[in-house]
Chains A and B, each alone.
Chain A
């Protein structure tokens, strides 16, 4: 399989080397893959993106995009990538149409040359094509930004937190669009702080404090979850979280929606736990085995 993006021991630090944002990160993205960088705010996702899109220089290591070195061949890379920054950065005082036309020109192309690529997305924007970009809703802005990133038909696109601050419906739509772009053979590197979006990627890298914790397919990642996981519920959740920390064999306990997720090292007797909680004065106790999610994997990795 052809490699589209190759990152090798990439290093970036700020404030004169005091704060390491990206700490020896390595990963590879295959051609046509939808690759996700999953991590909380400040994990270093944006720094990785900015290095790969030639906006900033790495302090160490190397990386290549489409076989081009990010330092030496930055000019060529810029021709062949699409980048959508986390912050909306099109011209708010230009209309939808003008923004698209403007970025097409900067890439020395025209909107209708690659219209087939953005057709699905642009059709949704078409009713607003004379509206100024700054006056669009959050979801519409993201769609326009995606169009502008695609207008020159790049083989690789980098999307930095494209769904942050977008409503759930638009988020789902956005991921469906990404799926369709992937089907057209475009390599997509996307970052997101949302764990539920991770399952929509082909492969994901979990990243925390500038270091990659694990790289795998979402499926493999959850199936390799080593511990026993239970969802527990009772009348006093706050108290429950506190009590459970002291229970034997508990590895981790944390709130997860309306439940608390508890992971255990070895076989756990559900009845014994039930009795224990009853003794402690809890009512309406519910203990059910839970299927691990990416979030559970992430928390597990963080605690190692």
Chain B
């Protein structure tokens, strides 16, 4: 027990003396959680639109005022020539051009139909799609209104009054960061603890200090515990910091039990540390460990459901994702934070992670013994 305590004291002294590691532990979750979710935001506001109104009738003025009222569309200018407007689009100053043709109102009343022209600047695909969506919505609504005014309600129009509205069950306002923050937090914890544990043990090998340790009568399990416990604690600290950032910056309060979150995270950290330990047993140099960890972390993040949904992947990719511990933690953190899932709901994931933890750690310890 005394040996373990001293190993821990030594490990923490080393960690606290290494400024870059401290910055990593504290700065990384805070900064990344503050920047990434906002930067990776798919929600688009401030779509610029130029209106080329060549009609100047009450009807067209009404349409223009409707567009003006939208919080998503920002009317950049009103022009009379389409060529001028196109120039703005070419300079990437505007995202949308709406052209209201001459005699719009007159022709509309005469022919009962009229056409509007929308040009979309598709340099930024996301903005283009959304901008077009917003604008067509406004025009659609405007159209409904006009119909209501111009023609008396008839039996035939009843069907058209059924409207489809959809909202997201657990994120009704489609707030992007609500979805991203828990996912990124889960991934950050994985990255920091995984990298730190793998590099730390390899560092002892590279510096030769492990030689000096190996000639002492210290037990192997003492040494391994002395390495796992500090990073297990650090993982918990990073997770706590991340939860605090998501509360103070994004106002996210986990819908489910915080204790359950921590409980799952503690088991999960054992799996991650086992993985770090395993990588370290195969490497002699920190550089090797770094590259191997990068390789796996890239796969973990791309196949972890953080950015793209695993449910939408082909079968073989789902199989890979099933072997990816990160996919379970992202899943569970999101489920508990957003949906308020209970222990019952996450039992399958918990079981899988326990298996991961046992397999990875046993493999690592077996390999550690073999090479020594």
Residues of A within 8 A of B (CB): 53-55, 75, 78-79, 81, 83, 85, 87-94, 98, 102-103, 105-108, 132, 148
Docked pose: A89 CA to B209 CA in angstroms = 4
CB neighbours (8 Å) of A98 from chain B are 10, 13
Q: Please indicate the chain B residues that have their CB under 8 angstroms from the CB of A90 in the complex.
A: 209, 212
Q: Confirm or deny: B17 has a beta carbon within 8 angstroms of a beta carbon on chain A.
A: yes
Known contacts A91-B14, A93-B18, A98-B13; A55/B217 CB under 8 A: no
Q: How far is the CB of A66 from chain B (nearest CB, A)?
A: 14
Which chain B residues border A132 with CB–CB below 8 Å?
17
A55 contact set on B, CB distance < 8 A = 211, 214-215
- With contact pairs A79-B217, A81-B215, A91-B14 given, residues A105 and B2 touching in the complex (Cβ less than 8 Å): yes
Given A94-B13, A105-B3, A106-B3, A87 and B216 touching (CB < 8 A)?
no
Contact between A78 and B14, CB atoms less than 8 A apart: no
- What residues of B have a CB within 8 angstroms of the CB of A81 in the complex? 215
- Residues in B whose Cβ lies below 8 Å from that of A88: 208
* Residues of chain B having any CB pair with chain A under 8 Å: 2-3, 6, 10, 13-14, 17-18, 207-209, 211-218
A106 with B218, Cβ < 8 A, contacts A91-B14, A93-B18, A148-B212 known:
yes
Interchain nearest-CB distance for B107 vs A (Å): 81
Q: In the assembled complex, which residues on chain B have CB atoms less than 8 Å from the CB atom of A107?
A: 216-217
Nearest 3 pairs of A and B residues by beta carbon:
A89-B208, A106-B216, A105-B6
Bound-state CA distance A102–B12 (Å) is 13
Question: How distant is A76 from chain B, measured CB to nearest CB, in Å?
Answer: 8
CB distance from B220 to the nearest CB of A (A): 11
Q: Which residue of A lies closest to B17 (CB)?
A: A93
How far does the alpha carbon of A78 sit from the alpha carbon of B213 in the complex, in Å?
10
In the bound assembly, the distance between CA atoms of A280 and B150 in angstroms comes to: 127
A-B contact pairs, 9 of them (CB 8 A): A53-B215, A81-B215, A89-B212, A90-B212, A93-B13, A94-B14, A103-B216, A107-B216, A107-B217
Task: Give every chain B residue within 8 A of A53 (Cβ-Cβ).
Answer: 215
Known: A89-B208, A89-B212, A91-B10. 16 other contacts (CB 8 A): A53-B215, A55-B211, A83-B211, A92-B207, A93-B14, A98-B10, A102-B6, A103-B212, A105-B6, A106-B3, A106-B6, A106-B213, A106-B216, A106-B217, A106-B218, A148-B212
| B212 interface neighbour in A54, A85, A93, A108, Cβ under 8 Å | A85
Contact A89 B217 (CB under 8 A): no
A78 and B212 contacting across the interface, CB-CB below 8 Å: no
Name A98's closest neighbour in chain B (CB-CB).
B13
A105 to B7, CA, bound (A): 9
| A88 CA to B211 CA, complexed, in Å | 10
What residues of chain A lie closer than 8 Å to B6, measured between beta carbons? 102, 105-106
| Least distance between A41 CB and chain B CB atoms (Å) | 17
Nearest Cβ on chain A to B211's Cβ, whole angstroms: 5
The answer on a CB contact under 8 Å between A75 and B209 is no
A108 vs B219: C-alpha distance when bound (angstroms): 12
Cα A93 to Cα B20 in complex, Å, equals 13
Selected from A75, A85, A92, A102, the residue in CB contact (under 8 A) with B211 is A85
- Provide the residues of chain A in CB contact with B18, threshold 8 Å: 93
Q: Which residue of A lies closest to B223 (CB)?
A: A106
What residues on A are CB-neighbors of B218 within 8 Å? 106
CB distance from A156 to the nearest CB of B (A): 12
Contacts A87-B208, A93-B17, A94-B14 given; does A75 touch B217 at CB 8 Å: yes
> CA A91 – CA B10 in complex, angstroms?
10
A78–B217 CB distance below 8 A: yes
CA distance A132 to B224 in the complex (A): 25
Within the complex, the shortest CB–CB distance from A282 to chain B, in Å, comes to 50
Which residues on B sit within 8 Å (CB–CB) of A94?
10, 13-14
A83→B212 contact, CB < 8 A = yes
How far apart are the CA atoms of A53 and B213 in the complex, in Å?
12
Question: Residues of A contacting B215 with CB < 8 Å?
Answer: 53-55, 78, 81, 83
Q: Tell me the smallest distance from the CB of B40 to a CB of chain A, in Å.
A: 37
Instruction: Tell me, rounded to whole Å, the shortest Cβ–Cβ distance linking A274 to chain B.
Output: 54
Complex: how many Å from CA A148 to CA B213?
A: 11
With CB as the reference atom, state the residue of chain B lying closest to A91: B209
Residues of B within 8 A of A85 (CB): 208, 211-212
B211 to chain A: which residues have CB within 8 Å? 55, 83, 85, 89
Once the chains are docked, how many angstroms separate the CA of A280 from the CA of B104? 117
CB distance from B214 to the nearest CB of A (A): 6
Chain B residues whose CB sits within 8 angstroms of the CB of A106 once the complex forms: 3, 6, 213, 216-218
- Please give the distance in Å from B180's CB to the nearest CB on chain A: 37
* Most B Cβ at <10 Å: residue of A98, A103, A105: A105
Closest to A134 in B: B207
Complex alpha-carbon distance, A302 and B40, angstroms:
70
Residues of A within 8 A of B207 (CB): 89, 91-92
A103 and B6 CA atoms in complex are apart in Å by 10
Candidate in B2, B207, B215, B217 with the most chain A CB atoms within 10 angstroms: B215
Across the interface, which residues of B come within 8 angstroms of A89, CB to CB? 207-209, 211-212
Q: CB distance B17 to A108 under 8 Å?
A: no
Question: Which B residues touch A78, using CB under 8 A?
Answer: 215-217
In angstroms, Cα B213 to Cα A54, docked, is 12
CB distance from B10 to the nearest CB of A (A): 5
Shortest beta-carbon distance from B219 to chain A in Å: 9
Question: Which residues on the A side are within 8 Å of B10 (C-beta)?
Answer: 91, 94, 98, 102
